[in-house]
């Protein structure tokens, strides 16, 4: 009744996936005593504490008198700097100057909400920066709701670009040859779970109705009729 068919082992196809994504982190930087920070000189900055994103250290640099000498301190400058060792670190950035008034119209410069034609920004070495020399005109800043109680609030988000091979399905798996026939044979020999007995010339054979019904259309009809009678009761 049962037979073995020898087949070549099936090998599942291998696959891989290259994934590029960003590891994001944020930092809030409060500058209290803005008026006292003015006059430190063009090109000189106030630095936040360093913070870690994507395995690298970062810092926010605020220039009260601006970074560019040609602007004659007409603008404040804000930059995000790579503060640890690293080469060709690719990242997305977002700088937000918080509106401390009732309208909440924050000044936002972001890479995250738009398509970048040239891709993420690349920082070549420690001290490399991304930001704006003309972040905000000082006269407008000092008369706005961004400055409250001589205090400014800056929020910074960094998204470090990381790439990796997703190898969760990279390795092939050998599919073993089916041995279901041997298992059915063991059921027949052990008589475990048998629910029907055949008497052939005085020799009794114990079997399983479900297995016989699957293999014999005639027995299937008989067993189905028997099962229906049991259900009707």
DSSP string, 54-95: TTEEEEEEEETT-S-GGGTT-EEEEEEEE-S--SSEEEEEEE
Quote the pLDDT of residue 106.
93
Domains of the chain: 18-165 (2.60.210.10), 179-232 (3.30.710.10)
C-alpha angle with apex 82: 76 to 83, nearest 5 degrees?
Answer: 100
Number of other CB atoms surrounding residue 157 within 10 Å:
19
| Element containing residue 152 per DSSP (H, E) | strand 151-166
Quote the pLDDT of residue 14.
72
Quote the pLDDT of residue 167.
66
The ranges of the chain with pLDDT < 50 are: 2, 170
The number of helix segments (H) and strand segments (E) in the chain equals 5, 14
Quote the pLDDT of residue 128.
94
Note the pLDDT tens digit of each residue in 53-80: 999 999 999 999 999 999 999 999 999 9
Quote the pLDDT of residue 165.
83
Nearest to 122 by CA among 43, 56, 50, 184: 56
Quote the pLDDT of residue 140.
95
Quote the pLDDT of residue 147.
96
8 A C-beta contact, residue 136 and residue 145: no
């Amino acid at each position: 009744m049962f037979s073995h068919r020898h087949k070549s082992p099936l090998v599942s196809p291998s696959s891989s996936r290259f994934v590029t994504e960003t590891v994001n982190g944020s930092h809030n930087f409060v500058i209290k005593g803005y008026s006292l920070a003015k006059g430190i000189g063009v090109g000189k900055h106030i630095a936040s504490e360093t913070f870690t994103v994507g395995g690298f250290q970062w810092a926010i640099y605020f220039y009260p008198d601006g970074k560019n000498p040609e602007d004659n301190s007409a603008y404040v400058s804000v930059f995000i700097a790579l503060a640890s060792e690293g080469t060709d670190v690719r990242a997305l950035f977002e700088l937000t100057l918080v509106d401390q008034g009732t309208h909440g119209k924050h000044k936002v410069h972001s890479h995250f909400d738009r398509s970048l034609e040239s891709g993420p920004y690349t920082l070549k070495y420690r001290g490399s920066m991304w930001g704006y020399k003309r972040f905000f005109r000082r006269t407008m800043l000092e008369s706005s709701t961004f400055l409250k109680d001589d205090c400014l609030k800056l929020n910074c988000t960094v998204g470090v670009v990381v790439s990796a091979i997703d190898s969760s399905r990279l390795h092939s798996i050998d599919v073993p040859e089916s041995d279901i026939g041997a298992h059915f044979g063991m059921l027949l020999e052990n008589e475990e779970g048998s629910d029907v007995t055949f008497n052939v010339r005085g020799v009794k054979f114990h079997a399983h109705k479900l297995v016989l019904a699957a293999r014999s259309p005639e027995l299937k009809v008989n067993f189905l009729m028997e099962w229906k009678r049991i259900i009707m009761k």
